[in-house]
A and B are shown apart, each in its own frame.
Chain A
Amino acid sequence: MKPVYWMSGLFGCIFYTGTVLADAPSEYVNYSDRGQELDFPAYHDPLDELDIDKSETRYQFERSSLRALNVQDPLEGMNRRIYRFNAQFDQHVYLPVVRTYVWATPDIARKGVSNFFNNLKDIPHLGNSLLQGKFQRSAETTARLLFNSILGIGGIFDVANSMGLPQQPEDFGQTLGVYGVPPGPYLVIPFLGPSSLRDGTGKVVDWAIEDNVNYMNNRDFMNDYQATWGIWAIDLRYQTPFRYGALDSPFEYDQVRYLYTKLREFQVDN
């Protein structure tokens, strides 16, 4: 036998016993005072390795959380009412409709619908990538549009994603953010949810871009067959994982406001 075989055999053995030993509980202990012949894994305290602040002024959580609550929200009263309206609309109308849609259609059809509408959104994504001077991203989004519209049969298949070109959303709110426009007051938009003055304006601009480009005549088509707008609306919710009540808190509005604000900062930076 060539030395390389038994060498690798030996290494394999050392490695294997090594992992088994590392994974094996260090010891088993009999904890019973009742004379039972039972051994249990030995206790170890994960908190031992932590440095826990015992001082009088241990305010890390409070300091961080209080700062997170400082979001500009001058229209809070109205926003909270709309938030509540959206939650109830979601619970009684929107989600039941989406559930029926999921029940009535096969997975692959839903995927196709989502891909189709996402492909259309690559138009404003491209426009905004260009406006932000992100040329590589613009080139990739252009390639996506071409591949998906042609090979993906009008966008029904996201072939570009399988080719290593995932969708890279850029909206006009982000574009404004890149040029230093602050988000402005927090806004909750009926049906659509959390936004800000800047991002709400951005949505209107993105909408206008889609309308004017009218890519593959989609707007004309959708206006001629108005039921397609219904599918568009259902798919919009189907693709949004957010659920009201998921944060399990009477302070959900405050928490969503902070998370939305952070998410947008994030998207502007990246």
Chain B
Amino acid sequence: MPRKTIRICTGLLFAIAFTAQAEQFDYPETNPFMATVAGTPNELKVPVPDEVDVQQDDLAVRVLPDRKLPPALSNYRDLHFRVAWHDEPAPLIFLIAGTGSGYDSSRMDYLKRLFWQAGMHVIVLSSPTNHDFIAAASNSGMPGMGAEDARDLHTAMSMALDKAQDEKGFEVTEYRLAGFSLGALNAAFVAELDTHLGQFNFSKVLLLNPPVDLYASVGRLDDLSYTRIPGVSDNDSFYEHIFQKLSRHFAQRSNSDIQANLFYEIQNSPEALSDPELAMLVGAVFRFSAADLSFMSDLINHGGRYVPADKEIKVSTSLTPYLRRALFCDFSCYINTQLWPAWEALNAGRTIDEMAYETSLRSLQAFLHDSPNIAAVSNADDLILNKNDYEFLADTFGERAYLYPYGGHGGNLDYPQVAERYMDFLQGEAK
């Protein structure tokens, strides 16, 4: 009997091994919303050095000398960025943050440490859609167009590099480029632009969870903020609903000491957040980024949508009334009411679909397909991709498409199986 059992067992396992046709992917979080919000559990992440042990500094450059900013926003006059460097000559990688994220966000810090640990100098830049970049480095003050954002980024990268080498005196052997989410789409456009300019001649370009059609992706994220949640009526506040759950959770606990792994603790309790609640959280964070973007872009362009064109915002001026109005504008609203009219004025007779195409990876398909030094990492359950987008990545990048069955939007980038593969690619050992 036992021998038979073992034989059946072995047979079954072989059958599975052959069906899967690939190395078994064992990322533990199969729920895309949990993966997106919480990422890999700490004990399973690729270990990276502590922040204090990284040789790094924050620097700033004046990219647009003529840009006028009101006193309340004067700290964004210079573009701030983060540099981590080595004393020996080494490759330098530029890293571009995702939608509404800054150079100092925790995801960027993690990737920075991962790259730095592997022996690269790292320069981290804010997303062109982040308020600081819009104020300090966006020529049009209206991000969202692939080619224009790439020009802004390329300039910012050159200036940041000069500044960093001036101050820190490190030597660069070759240039690489990586971006996360919208930053990955930006990286693709920057890489293409650089083939015409010949400035950096990137040896490797890594796209981490890129959108394919930007406007379709932001539409999906907007949608998350309209998720219906069981138990939240048309008169309730979603935040209060979440806080009540947390409150009940704490009431059941013996003490009120807040732990570092609080999120996992809650998700394993009766008050665990449901998928619609997690989706709404992702959507809400994104909506706040959209409000920031819409507000900043309008302010720089004196559009008068939120702040009257002639009003000076002082440090003491309340921005709350502007936020109240900007909250209503989701990302699609920004595209339709700000980006599109500006584009249409320069492109009479063309359609919004043509504008969308110009900012999608589809417009770069031939370039991406024919460049062996560009790879993309994504997941079959990435929130920002629809089926066509996902298939586009598989089809365009072929064996340079590192696609995984789970991980949501970027949740598995710190997982060894995933990270080791893209690090091998960056370091030039990819098969």
Contacts and interface: CB of A to CB of B under 8 A. Distances in A.
Does A pair with B? yes
30 contacts: A5-B2, A23-B25, A25-B380, A28-B21, A28-B22, A32-B395, A38-B398, A38-B399, A39-B22, A40-B394, A40-B401, A41-B404, A44-B380, A44-B381, A47-B279, A52-B223, A64-B240, A65-B287, A67-B239, A76-B318, A99-B52, A168-B255, A248-B131, A248-B292, A249-B288, A250-B295, A250-B296, A251-B319, A266-B243, A270-B250
A61 B323 CA distance: 13
Given A13-B9, A31-B390, A60-B234, 11 more contacts: A13-B12, A23-B26, A24-B16, A38-B399, A46-B381, A47-B383, A50-B275, A61-B283, A168-B256, A266-B243, A270-B256
- Among A36, A40, A84, A243: residue with most chain B CB under 10 A: A40
- Among B32, B240, B315, B394: residue with most chain A CB under 10 A: B394
B308 interface: no
B206 interface: no
Given A9-B5, A41-B380, A51-B276, A60 B295 contact: no
A262 B115 CA distance: 38
A61 B287 contact: yes
B25 to A, nearest CB: 7
Contacts of A58: 226
Interface in B1-25: 1-2, 5-6, 8-9, 12-13, 16, 19-22, 24-25
B407 to A, nearest CB: 10
Contact of A84 (B30, B256, B315): B315
B412 to A, nearest CB: 12
- Among B12, B320, B379: residue with most chain A CB under 10 A: B320
A251 B292 contact: yes
B55 to A, nearest CB: 12
Given A63-B237, A64-B239, A78 B316 contact: yes
The 4 closest A-B pairs by CB, nearest first: A41-B405, A25-B405, A31-B394, A77-B316
B16 A6 contact: no
A40 B238 contact: no
A68 B328 CA distance: 14
Interface of B: 1-2, 5-6, 8-9, 12-13, 16, 19-22, 24-26, 30, 32-33, 52, 73, 100-102, 104-105, 130-131, 220, 223-229, 232, 234, 237-240, 243, 246-247, 250-251, 255-257, 275-276, 279-280, 283-284, 287-289, 291-292, 295-296, 315-320, 323-324, 327-328, 379-381, 383, 385-387, 390-391, 394-395, 398-399, 401, 403-405, 408
Interface in A42-61: 42-47, 49-54, 57-58, 60-61
A128 to B, nearest CB: 13
A3 B320 CA distance: 72
B403 A41 contact: yes
A70 to B, nearest CB: 9
A250 B100 contact: no
Given A9-B2, A64-B237, A77-B318, A45 B256 contact: no
Interface in A153-168: 166-168
A45 B386 contact: yes
A69 B324 contact: yes
A65 B238 CA distance: 9
A248 B391 contact: no
B316 A81 contact: yes
A80 B327 contact: no
B102 A38 contact: no
A220 interface: no
Contact of A254 (B5, B9, B317, B319): B319
B237 to A, nearest CB: 4
A51 B228 contact: yes
B7 to A, nearest CB: 10
Contacts of A166: 255, 257
Contact of B52 (A34, A45, A103): A103
B315 A81 contact: yes
Given A6-B5, A62-B328, A47 B220 contact: yes
B132 to A, nearest CB: 8
Interface string A225-259: 00000000000000000010110111101110000
Interface in A1-44: 1, 5-6, 9-10, 13, 16-17, 20-21, 23-25, 28, 31-34, 36, 38-44
Interface string A188-221: 0000000000000000000000000000000000
B247 to A, nearest CB: 6
Contacts of B284: 61, 64-65
A39 B398 CA distance: 9
B394 A249 contact: no
Contacts of A39: 21-22
